[in-house]
Structure formats: structure tokens, C-alpha cells
């Protein structure tokens, strides 16, 4: 898949043809994979988000999404975190949402 580049205005943007930072994306993914493999992390995160500011600072957020509450179009959130009116935005059938709500234990 590769990285999704989201601008500060919330829009998703792409690099012009031939200018995408593939090598940087691969390096970041490799480093995150190495970090995740460390034994000190008992619970392994399933999603992460790296934010780079205009000032050159960055932040990493991790999310732990159980497989049974995951959906391919949904990132950094559980299906059971959604409100019914958000389902169409992520192409999630209402039956799947209800099933995941029933599985949620916390």
C-alpha cells in the first residue's frame, strides 16, 4: 500500500509522478517493524500514524485494534468505536458493525 500523505488541511495528497518518497517510506516501515518486534512490547500495535510538522518535529501514535474489530477501510479506530452514521463513510455493513459491538468487552 505505501504511506498516505495527509496535509494539515485534512486532504490526502500525492507526490507528482516519479517524486514519491518510496525509499523514506520503506525505511520508516522497516524501523517501525523492528521496533514492534522488540520483546519489551507485550501487546503489539496493529496501526500507527506518524505526523511531521512544518517545524520539523514528529509524533508517532500507535493503535491496538483486535483482528475481530478491524476493517480494511478503517484506520486507527475499531469498528465498534464508530457511530451508526459513520458506517457508510468506511463501507461497513450495519450487520458487521452490530456484530462487533456485541463482541466488544471493554
Q: What pLDDT score was predicted for residue 88?
A: 95
Number of domains in the chain: 2
In terms of domains, do 54 and 44 share one?
Answer: yes
Q: Which domain holds residue 77?
A: 66-106
- Give the predicted TM-score (pTM) of the model: 0.69
Q: Residue 36 in contact with residue 46, Cβ under 8 Å?
A: no
Domain identity same for 73 and 35: no
CA 15 to chain centre: 20
**What is the per-residue pLDDT for 41?**
84
Based on the fold, state whether residues 52 and 86 are members of the same structural domain: no
Judge if 32 and 56 occupy the same domain.
yes
* Residue 2 CA, distance from chain mean position: 12
List the pLDDT tens digit at each of the 106 positions of the chain: 556 777 777 777 767 677 777 888 889 889 999 999 999 888 888 988 888 777 888 889 999 999 999 998 888 999 999 999 999 999 999 999 999 999 887 7
Amino acid at each position: 500500500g505505501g504511506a498516505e500523505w495527509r496535509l494539515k488541511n485534512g486532504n490526502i495528497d500525492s507526490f507528482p509522478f516519479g517524486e514519491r518518497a518510496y525509499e523514506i517510506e520503506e525505511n520508516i516501515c522497516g524501523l517501525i517493524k523492528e521496533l514492534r518486534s522488540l520483546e519489551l512490547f507485550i501487546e503489539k500495535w496493529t496501526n500507527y500514524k506518524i505526523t511531521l510538522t512544518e517545524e520539523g518535529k514528529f509524533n508517532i501514535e500507535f493503535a491496538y485494534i483486535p483482528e475481530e474489530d478491524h476493517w480494511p477501510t478503517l484506520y486507527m479506530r475499531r469498528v465498534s468505536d464508530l457511530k451508526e452514521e459513520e458506517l457508510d463513510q468506511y463501507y461497513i455493513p450495519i450487520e458487521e458493525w452490530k456484530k462487533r459491538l456485541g463482541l466488544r468487552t471493554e
